[in-house]
Structure formats: C-alpha cells, structure tokens
Amino acid sequence: LSRDLLISLVDECAAQDKYSFRSDVLCSMGDKLDLRAFLWDGFAAQLRTVQEYYERSMQLLDPAIRSELLCAEAASYIAPDSRCVNSLIADGCQIEGSVEGSILFPGVKVGKGSQVKNCILFKNTVVEDGVTLGCVIADKDVHIRRGGTLIGHESYPLAVSKGSIV
C-alpha cells in the first residue's frame, strides 16, 4: 500500500467510526487493494490495549516464542558486576545494574545500582544510577533520573511517554 492510499483508507474508516484495520480497512476495501496472503503458523498476537501489549511483550521472554521471532543474542555491554536474568537485551545496550524479566530495545542504558524488573524499555531510554523500576513501559528517549522509583503492576503497567524526564 502506498502511504497516501493507506492514509485515505484510515481516514475514511475513522469518519465512519470503524477502527479495525483487518475487518474495516482490508476486508471492506478489498476491491480497491491488491491483497495477497502469506501463511504464518508461528507466534502471533493481537494488541488492543496497553495491558495486552505488556502481556504479549513479556511472552517474548519465553525462549521458544523468542526463537520463532528473533535472531540469536546480540552484542551489548553487560558489566561484570551487573545481573541480567531472563531478559531480552538488544544491540547497543549498556547494563551496569540489575535487569530481570525485562525487554530492552537498542541503546538502553541501566546505571550502577539500578534495578529493572518486568519492564519494557524502548530505544535510548536512560536509567541513571540507583533507580528502581518495576512493571514499567518506557517509550523512546525516556530519561529516569538518579535514585528515582517507578513501580507499576503486572495487571496495570506504568507507561512513561516518549521523551519524558522523570
């Protein structure tokens, strides 16, 4: 789909209060589109809420699911005195604290003495020294200052907006 066609399809559906991309855009507009199918029998997930996004993302920590979707482990700096357990760490991360049950996107930095547990930290998030995070989803370019504490819950993760300084 071209960008312009996609925007017009989405605008047309929004004007009619239709928000399902699959049924409202693709199926109802099929005569205007050149649709082709691809069979995928691996892991797939529908994301409708922040809660579903959090739960499906945490499923990536299961090695069987992760191996279906991602390549082998990538290089990042993990300090000798740091701790990483059951986490997915992308390229370019610097870990000097503790990371457990979390997903870190490229360029994330976790400072000394910081504890990150059950979190999803997007690209270039900086967690300074002595920070405690639990059940947090941090969008891109978030900066969490030294000594801060942010705690959500598995059933209600705390979401931090893109570019925030906390």
Nearest one of 91, 100, 107 to 132, comparing CA atoms:
100
For the record, the structure tokens of 158 come out as 């705390």
Specify the length of the chain in residues. 166
Structural contact between residues 92 and 106, judged by C-beta atoms closer than 8 angstroms: yes
Nearest one of 51, 100, 43 to 68, comparing CA atoms:
43
Residue-wise pLDDT tens digits, 114-165: 999 999 999 999 999 999 999 999 999 999 999 999 999 999 999 999 999 9
Q: Is 64 exposed, middle or buried (0-12, 13-18, 19+ CB in 10 A)?
A: exposed
pLDDT at 18: 76
Does the global pTM surpass 0.85? no
Residue-wise pLDDT tens digits, 29-76: 667 767 677 777 788 888 889 999 999 889 988 888 877 776 555 578
pLDDT at 105: 93
Alpha-helical segments (H) within 75-130: none
